[in-house]
Amino acid sequence: MTKSTPSSGNVVWHHAAVDKKRCEQLNGHQAVNLWFTGLSGSGKSTLAHAVEERLHELGCRTFVFDGDNVRHGLCDELSFSIEDLHENIRRIGEMVNLFLEAGVIALTAFISPMRRDRQRVRDIIGDDAFIEIYCRCPLEVCEQRDVKGMYKKARAAEVANYTGISSSYEEPLNPDLILDSGTRPLYECVEAVIQFLRERKVVE
């Protein structure tokens, strides 16, 4: 885990007595980040919430960071420019890091189209805690699922820099887990994630 350097030289990191290890012991599981990435419509949010439900049944402490929800508060002033997309993901990485310090399993559902941004989150929270899950889904299937009508607007040039249409998506090179969310049933994807977490000893 790396900590960014604040702009002011008068800020010193305070080390809490109740640290991550003690929180993990209390919660009975490791604190990790499940980073769901993929095109809009690939099923990231649906899968993240379904996995959270399953983890909740197992007695885990969890929180889902959803791309749209974060835009309503923490990042409400950011646009969809390249610069602001970088900043959006950076803020999420720092917020996730705080939740991990509390021993929580943080699930994040973001398109996060650029590899450099996903790598930055990995650098912030640490390689062991960052689990990259690629929701692989063909563009045509994502467009068929276009519940918000954004692909249609992007095709009509009403929306600029839309990932998959006017802006590229950089597929993960070595994701921890690949789920064919365009063809595989939701329950199978959920169980694949839970099985992966058990193999990694995150949960029992």
Q: What is the DSSP letter of 18?
A: S
Token pair, residue 135, equals 């929701």
From 81, 112, 166, 181, the catalytic residue? 112
Is 79 an annotated catalytic residue? no
Does residue 37 contact residue 47 with C-beta atoms inside 8 Å?
no
Residue 35: name the closest of 126, 101, 159 by CA.
Answer: 126
The long-range contacts involving 169-174, CB below 8 angstroms and separated by at least 24 positions, are: 169/38, 169/39, 169/111, 169/113, 170/113, 170/114, 170/115, 171/134, 171/136, 172/37, 172/115, 172/118, 172/132, 172/134, 173/115
Give the integer Cα–Cα distance in Å for 62 and 52: 7
Distant-in-sequence, close-in-space partners of 149: CB < 8 Å, separation ≥ 6: none
Phi, psi angle pair for 107, to nearest 5°: -110, 125
Catalytic residues: 112
